[in-house]
Structure 1
Amino acid sequence: MSRAKVISIFNQKGGVGKTTTCMNLTAALSIDGYRVLTVDIDPQGNTTSGFGIEKNDLDKSIYDALINGQDLREVILTTGFDRLNLLPSNIDLAGSEIELAHMSQRETRLRKVLDPILEYYDYIFIDCPPSLGLLTINALTASDSVLIPIQCEYYALEGVGQLISTISLVKKGLNPKIEIEGVLMTMYDSRTNLAVQVVGEVKSYFKEKVYRTKIPRNIRLAEAPSFGETIFENAPNSKGAIAYAELAKEFIGREHVK
């Protein structure tokens, strides 16, 4: 029985497109026929509300699974896509860093929680908080790889050294198999010299890990979550939708080469 590949979407900088990428890449993969689970491990719960779930009305969330050992089958929700499920989050998770700090095997709790359901999915994507706390460490410890979104802006590479050293520490101490899945350039505007320059810098740092597909600056991408929709529901013919559909194909293409 094959098991799901688990991928964290992570950058400790906020506003780089983690949640947008998590929602729309998982939706694109499910449209292409893959069984996907999205795990929202950010206390802000933006991925959860982005899928149209009223996070404040949840009976159970990832918090219950992580802290209280709740059976995931009672927590996972369906979405508007046949093959895409969601493990939701809400503000309950905000205090979990403190609770986790006092628990045994605190860095591996998410891995243990996900283990029984790995056989039911092809891919599991984890939307991480923009911080380097225990929730992120749990996500990285549970993951096979990390997808890093980087915004096309000044200081794009600021903090990347810290991000890489965090991944290295996790690899050394908690999860020897973790690798960088790929680096995704977001909010790209080909008309500006800056965007082209930033892509060049990121490519010189990450080499072939950088995806050819770039996610454009697109107002529809920014608006879609406020309607509780992915870009494929909100504006399926937009540049943003086309870009995420292309990214899904490039992602799968790389998987087949491995």
Structure 2
Amino acid sequence: MAEIITVANRKGGVGKTTTTLNLAYSIKELGKKVLVIDLDPQANLTRCFDVENLENIKTIGHLLMAELEEEENYSVKDYVISYDKIDLIPSSIYLSATETQMRSETGSERILSEIIEPVREHYDYVLIDTSPALNILTINALCASDSVLVTADTQMFAVVGINELLKTVQKIKKRVNSGLKVKGILLTMCDNRTNLYKTLTEQVEEMFQGRIKVFQTKIPKTVKVGEAIYSGQSIKKYAKDSSVDVAYDNLAKEICYE
């Protein structure tokens, strides 16, 4: 039975998509079966799985709409693409239209849960990439998940968005999904040569000590990450055994063997 993990933060540019992509590859390397769901209309994660012609494929937006409109006899597997032995439910700009429709529907925060529940037995992990907003899509992801992995960069505003997200997590845990927990906070874009990195890392660890786990693994700042994303590849394919590849392997071990 899969553990469902949402990767989230209200702040953009903190490594959500990069983490979802590379964590999926590292978990797969441990022999686990992984499903990735791109729940961002920008579809950046989808493009990293070499998906082209987004206008002509079935995506998470179409799948959510099928559930929303209570279509009969649709199959989730018809929306799944397999790439490098990782399963993906892709996204496209159509998800924006779906989001608009969902906002006007009663109980729409549970739609993704109803979609995932029948297929979770076929996987070890389901990873959900979200947009940098606490919208109905992100709320759906949190309602469907067992845990949330919070990414935060080690720039000046490292903790911006974390507290707002944590408040939302608590509300969802209280009202909708009592089993939801915070998997941990992952620090990304870490440059251990700078005093700012050391200061902000200490700040985050002190702020959440004893309350929320801060992963021992820190994702280093390197141009290879941007180059890999630009070329539409995982870091494991673009720069295997690099420092950032090793870091995501270590993160996968922290998550899978905690």
Query: What TM-score range do you get, normalising by the shorter chain?
Result: over 0.9
Deviation of 1:12 (Å) = 0.7
Alpha-carbon distance in 2 for matches of 1:149, 1:71: 32
Alpha-carbon distance in 1 for matches of 2:157, 2:231: 31
**1:10 — aligned with what?**
8
Alpha-carbon RMSD across the aligned residues, in angstroms, is 1.2
* Alignment counterpart, residue 233 of structure 2, candidates 229, 236, 239: 229
Deviation of 1:79 (Å) = 1.0
Q: Which amino acid aligns with 1:153?
A: Q
Alpha-carbon distance in 2 for matches of 1:71, 1:168: 32
Q: Which amino acid aligns with 2:28?
A: S
For the residue of structure 2 that corresponds to 1:108, the secondary structure is: helix
Alpha-carbon distance in 2 for matches of 1:214, 1:58: 38
TM-score, scaled to structure 2: 0.94
* Alignment counterpart, residue 42 of structure 2, candidates 35, 41, 44: 44
Q: How does 1:95-244 map to 2 (within 5 A)?
A: 95-207=97-209, 209-244=213-248
Q: Which runs of 5+ in 1 are unaligned?
A: none
Q: Which amino acid aligns with 1:222?
A: G
- C-alpha spacing 1:201/1:58, structure 2 compared with 1 (3 Å): farther
Deviation of 1:228 (Å) = 1.9
Q: Which amino acid aligns with 2:183?
A: E
Alpha-carbon distance in 2 for matches of 1:17, 1:246: 16
Deviation of 1:229 (Å) = 1.1
- Higher deviation after alignment, 19-28 or 205-214: 205-214
Alpha-carbon distance in 1 for matches of 2:37, 2:108: 18
Deviations 1:167-213 (A, max 9, x none): 11111111111000011000000000001111111111222601111
The aligned length equals 250
TM-score, scaled to structure 1: 0.94
- Runs (4+) off by over 6 Å: none
- Higher deviation after alignment, 102-111 or 184-193: 102-111
